[in-house]
């Protein structure tokens, strides 16, 4: 029997298999994480958590801004009035939003911007009581089937 065995288990049992005892001791040390590996894993974890918290903070802030904005946008008029027809006529139209926004009025000025059927529509939304401009928007729309405007009749540019 070999009396010089390095492992405690081998000395107690007296197995005499030096290589197998040495391998079990090496694998026992390699199965644990080092302090550097744990710190790197924690750093990655905290970066991910703070990124998620930052994203949630900005989403909540944007949701609050959307809830607090109750004003009227000129895009509402554009969506409602310009999508009704494929033909545009040079004119000035005005209206209100009915019961939905009773204190607001809109004005829409449509005119030919180029002789090829390109029209520009300027929309202004105003607060009725003060007359303050709430929202403005200009839309270019190609409507070749529309009646000729003032530019086509005059043969020039505006």
Considering the domain boundaries, does residue 31 fall inside one? yes
pLDDT in tens, 133-154: 888 999 988 887 777 776 766 6
88 and 147 both lie in a single domain: yes
The answer to whether 75 and 124 have CB atoms below 8 angstroms apart is no
36 and 87 both lie in a single domain: no
pTM of the complete model: 0.52
59 and 114 both lie in a single domain: no
116 and 96 both lie in a single domain: yes
43 and 106 both lie in a single domain: no
Q: Please enumerate in sequence order all residues whose Cβ is within 8 A of that of 158, keeping only pairs 6 or more positions apart, or say none.
A: 111, 112, 113, 150, 151
pLDDT in tens, 35-92: 999 999 999 999 999 999 999 999 999 988 887 666 788 888 888 888 777 778 888 9
Work out how many domains the chain is built from and give that number: 2
Considering the domain boundaries, does residue 3 fall inside one? no
90 and 18 both lie in a single domain: no
């Amino acid at each position: 029997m070999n009396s010089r065995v390095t492992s405690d288990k081998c000395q107690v049992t007296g197995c005499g298999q030096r290589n197998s005892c040495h391998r079990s001791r090496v694998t026992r040390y390699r199965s644990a994480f080092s302090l550097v590996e744990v710190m790197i894993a924690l750093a990655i974890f905290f970066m991910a958590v703070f990124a998620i918290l930052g994203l949630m903070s900005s989403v909540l802030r944007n949701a609050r801004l959307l809830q607090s904005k109750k004003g009227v946008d000129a895009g509402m008029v554009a969506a409602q009035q310009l999508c009704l027809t494929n033909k545009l006529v040079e004119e000035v139209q005005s209206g209100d939003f009915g019961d939905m926004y009773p204190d607001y009025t809109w004005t829409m000025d449509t005119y030919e911007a180029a002789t090829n059927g390109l029209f520009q529509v300027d929309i202004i939304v105003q607060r009725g009581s003060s007359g303050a401009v709430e929202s403005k928007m200009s839309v270019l729309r190609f409507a070749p089937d529309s009646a000729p405007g003032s530019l086509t009749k005059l043969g020039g540019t505006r």
